[in-house]
């Protein structure tokens, strides 16, 4: 209910409604049930080795476990996309003065949110704007031009720019398409945090007489566009959605919390380990237990006594 009240976009509201109706809970409960069945087969084989049963082979346990792994990975991806619907993607515009950062912010926002002049260093503090692309909130932050300066106020703005870069999900490093990557641009690039996605935006392609284009160079995506004319802006929209992991199927996402994503991640990891250890059933059983334990943080606890009850209810075990 809180997710529905706090939804910032129509897509987030629809996802919250689906979660409110129990869709996410039903999917997790279904996975817990499948893990329970598989654990029951493995534990029965381990605990009663003298019985003349080969339930793992007869029930195609390996194939069933592979299906669980695939569905867990899919649900995790949908949950991560749902988390993005809630929090949005933090995008920082960075680069030298006068490469068009403020113009790009205004183009993305669809209005004059930042002052644009020919004077280098016009932007002194971070300017923020939130937009939506395919229902995904994008928090765009325009920052001061990064350069050496003796201006005290500009220095403060540059320090704040680096602070924003450190908190970013993705950095759009703007270059002037007429010059390409200069030594000063390279000096900025090497200072960017390695964990943050970097997209190089070669702005002012209209002045350079070049067409809008997406290409890869030096292991990074380059986008050639014009913030002033709007040419090539669709390339930037598509690239931001790619970074966000957005598949374009908003109706498939689930609005999960961070603890849900963490639990799903652990369950997916442990299930994958179990699949690789089917030849060592005692290790496989432990990984399956940990996977189910992780999912139980979402749905509720499932105890060892519950598992024994499942075994004895489905197998005729001799004394």
pLDDT tens, position by position, 138-164 = 889 988 888 888 888 888 888 898 999
Looking at the chain, the domain(s) classified CATH 3.40.50.300 span 88-245
Structure confidence at residue 77 (pLDDT): 81
Strand partners, 89: 138
To which residue do tokens 């869709």 refer? 23
Structure confidence at residue 48 (pLDDT): 64
Structure confidence at residue 319 (pLDDT): 46
Q: Going residue by residue through the chain (319 aa), what tens digit of pLDDT does each one get?
A: 666 555 555 555 655 665 655 677 788 888 998 998 888 888 877 776 655 555 566 568 888 999 999 999 988 887 777 777 667 788 999 999 989 998 898 888 876 655 444 545 455 556 888 887 776 778 899 888 888 888 888 888 888 989 999 988 899 999 999 998 999 999 999 999 988 889 999 999 999 999 999 999 888 999 999 999 999 999 999 998 888 766 554 555 666 677 888 899 999 999 999 999 888 888 998 999 999 989 988 876 655 555 455 555 555 555 4
DSSP string, 154-182: HHHHHHHHHHHHHH-SEEEEEEETTT-S-
Give the integer Cα–Cα distance in Å for 305 and 122: 68
Encode burial over 284-306: b for 16+ CB neighbours within 10 A, e otherwise: bbbbbbbbbbbbbbbeeebeeee
Looking at the chain, the domain(s) classified CATH 1.20.120.430 span 2-85+257-314
Helix (H) or strand (E) holding 56: helix 55-58
Closest Cα to residue 267, out of 122, 18, 79, 91?
79
Could you tell me the CATH superfamily of domain 88-245?
P-loop containing nucleotide triphosphate hydrolases (3.40.50.300)
Structure confidence at residue 112 (pLDDT): 63
Structure confidence at residue 136 (pLDDT): 74
Strand partners, 201: 174, 223
Give the integer Cα–Cα distance in Å for 210 and 180: 12
Q: Where are the beta strands (DSSP E) in 55-123?
A: 89-95
For residue 248, give the DSSP letter.
S
Instruction: Give the long-range contacts of residues 206-211, CB within 8 A, separation 24 or more.
Output: 206/231, 207/177, 207/178, 208/177, 208/178, 210/177
Q: How far is CA 60 from the centre of its chain?
A: 34
Q: Where are the beta strands (DSSP E) in the chain?
A: 89-95, 127-133, 136-142, 170-176, 197-203, 213-217, 220-224
Q: DSSP 3-state assignment of 145?
A: coil
Give the integer Cα–Cα distance in Å for 50 and 64: 24
Q: How far is CA 13 from CA 4, 24, 194, 254, in A?
A: 5, 15, 34, 11
Give the integer Cα–Cα distance in Å for 31 and 53: 25
CATH architecture of 2-85+257-314: Up-down Bundle (1.20)
Q: Provide Rg for the chain, Cα atoms.
A: 26
């Amino acid at each position: 209910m809180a997710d529905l009240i706090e939804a910032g976009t129509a897509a987030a509201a629809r996802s919250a409604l689906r979660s409110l109706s129990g869709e996410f809970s039903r999917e997790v409960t279904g996975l817990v049930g499948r893990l329970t069945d598989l654990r029951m087969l493995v534990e029965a084989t381990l605990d009663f080795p003298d019985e003349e049963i080969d339930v793992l082979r007869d029930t195609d346990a390996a194939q069933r476990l592979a299906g669980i792994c695939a569905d867990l990975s899919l649900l995790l991806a949908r949950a991560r996309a749902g988390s993005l619907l809630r929090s949005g993607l933090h995008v920082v515009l960075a680069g030298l003065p006068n490469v068009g950062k403020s113009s790009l912010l205004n183009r993305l926002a669809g209005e004059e949110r930042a002052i644009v002049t020919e004077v280098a260093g016009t932007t002194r503090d971070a300017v923020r704007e939130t937009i939506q692309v395919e229902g995904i909130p994008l928090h765009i932050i325009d920052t001061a031009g990064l350069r050496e300066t003796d201006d005290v106020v500009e220095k403060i703005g540059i320090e704040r720019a680096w602070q924003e870069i450190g908190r970013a999900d993705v950095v759009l490093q703007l270059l002037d398409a007429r010059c390409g990557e200069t030594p000063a641009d390279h000096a900025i690039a090497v200072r960017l945090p390695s964990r943050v996605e970097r997209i190089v935006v070669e702005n002012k392609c209209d002045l350079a007489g070049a067409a809008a284009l997406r290409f890869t160079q030096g292991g990074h995506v380059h986008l050639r566009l014009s913030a002033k004319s709007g040419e090539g802006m669709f390339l930037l929209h598509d690239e931001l959605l790619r970074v966000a992991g957005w598949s374009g199927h908003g109706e498939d996402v689930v609005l999960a919390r961070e603890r849900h994503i963490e639990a799903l991640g652990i369950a997916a990891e442990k299930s994958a380990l179990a699949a690789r250890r089917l030849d060592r059933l005692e290790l496989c059983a432990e990984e399956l237990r940990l996977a189910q334990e992780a999912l139980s943080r979402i749905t509720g606890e499932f105890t060892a006594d519950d598992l024994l009850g499942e075994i004895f209810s489905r197998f005729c075990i001799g004394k």
